[in-house]
Structure 1
Amino acid sequence: MPLCPHDKQRLNESASGFDCPACGRQFGNQPVCPECVQPAEVLKACGAVDFFCKTHGMISLSRVIVS
């Protein structure tokens, strides 16, 4: 799961996007590159989920943020 940009805790997926169990904030479901804050493409294969930024390349699940 992506991390909360505020307290770096793992987010829980919900119907509307993602929720942070630590701070209670809610986020949409658009993954964003932590370097340039541009939308990232979701790549799914063999059960794994990764993200791709056209500028910065592959982004691990632990680094991606959501908006």
Structure 2
Amino acid sequence: MDALCPACGQPMNWVDGDYHCQICQRHYRQIAECPDCGQPLQQLKACGAVDYLCQQGHGLISKKRVKFSYQPR
């Protein structure tokens, strides 16, 4: 899955923990959001696996259902 720049729609590169658009010269932070309520998810990492938890009562959210957005740095 490619991360697309929210400003120009071009694919972004992963650079130093953020996404970087070479066209716009902007850096973006990736935000995982609950598909049910739209609130940010807590990321849980253990033994190489990454899971997402909705703190608004929707429980564990499958990575396939997570909505990702990008905020400028």
What TM-score, normalized by structure 2, do the two folds share? Answer: 0.57
Q: Deviations over 1:43-64 (max 9, x none)?
A: 0000000000012110011110
What is the match of residue 25 of structure 2? none
Report the Cα offset of residue 11 of structure 1: 3.9
Q: How many residues align?
A: 51
What is the match of residue 66 of structure 1? 68
What is the match of residue 22 of structure 2? none
Percent identity for Structure 1 against Structure 2: 43
What is the match of residue 7 of structure 2? none
Please report the RMSD computed on the Cα atoms of aligned residues, expressed in angstroms. Answer: 2.4
Q: Deviations over 1:1-50 (max 9, x none)?
A: xxxxxxxxx34572334xxxxxxxxx741100000000000000000000
Q: How does 1:1-67 map to 2 (within 5 A)?
A: 10-11=1-2, 14-15=14-15, 16-17=18-19, 28-55=29-56, 56-67=58-69
Q: What stretches of structure 1 of length at least 5 have no aligned partner? A: 1-9, 18-26
Larger RCO (alpha carbons 8 Å, 6+ apart)? 1
Q: What stretches of structure 2 of length at least 5 have no aligned partner? A: 4-12, 20-27
- Tell me the amino acid that sits aligned with residue 44 of structure 2: L
| 1:50–1:35 distance in 2 versus 1, CA, 3 Å | same
